[in-house]
Chain A
């Protein structure tokens, strides 16, 4: 089994301000960290959380287009990881497992939204608005208020859900088609097509900016 590539932890902002993550003596794989957390090492979970909090939040936010919905998915995903701590065993890459949980939560959320379209209409507009909200958490130089970023965000939001999800998984995790297919429980051929369509659509939408 291929083990996840190691990521450099990002600084964790807290109510008291920005706190730099302690420099690890050695860089563990995701799976090793999860096993350590299973055995009671809270610091291992913190390291895992630092690695994936940003990609998972971006994935949730841009997939749903709603800050509150994304927060729910993000929170439920991590709670599911925590709840599974005692029975965790390395059966797949941690990142695949993590995003598979998020995918299921997002799919449930999308189904609820489809059943009640009145309350959840105008998702495409909302994703841009929510991304503008995200700018509050970012340094000004990379704020999503940037026109090009807004255009890209709108183009992503305009993608069908399945294509948007595949594109976001690719962009946020760097996983291959087979792993993305495993996460979304789709056939690899279908996943490849969705990714191709998504990239084609986004390239077309962003042609004026490239």
Chain B
């Protein structure tokens, strides 16, 4: 390697001196403090606990939901009327393909 090459680094390091402005220093340090303070604030803990509680309630509710299909029964007179009406549809029972039996 050329012996002169490291001189560029030495010259650079000897001349280096630029610094951020005082305003920049203050901004960055304030942002760092704000971030820490935000993490420590109790409202964040409370909000976190509230979210966890809602999530737990949701999970419990999902777990308690019955998985079987709707079977009917015990739904009062409307159910009886609906069942009667449905039974009228079962009266026409063709006996096979092309059968005219039961048709008006």
Q: CA A53 – CA B6 in complex, angstroms? A: 24
Structural contact, A86 and B9, CB atoms closer than 8 A: no
Q: CA A45 – CA B32 in complex, angstroms? A: 7
> Which residue of chain B is the closest to A133 with respect to CB atoms?
B18
Structural contact, B19 and A137, CB atoms closer than 8 A: yes
Number of interface residues of B (CB under 8 A): 33
Q: CA A137 – CA B25 in complex, angstroms? A: 13
Structural contact, A53 and B9, CB atoms closer than 8 A: no
**B67 on the interface (CB 8 Å rule)?**
no
Number of interface residues of A (CB under 8 A): 55
A-B contact count (CB 8 A): 127
Q: Assuming A15-B22, A42-B32, A49-B32, is B15 touching A142 (CB within 8 A)?
A: yes
Q: Which residues of B contact A (CB under 8 A)?
A: 1-2, 4-9, 11-13, 15-29, 31-33, 35-36, 39-40
Q: Which residues of A contact B (CB under 8 A)?
A: 10, 12-15, 37, 40, 42, 45-46, 49, 53-54, 57-58, 61-62, 71, 74-75, 78-79, 82-83, 85-86, 131, 134-135, 137-139, 142-144, 146, 148-149, 152-153, 156, 167, 170-172, 196, 198-200, 202-203, 206-207, 209-210
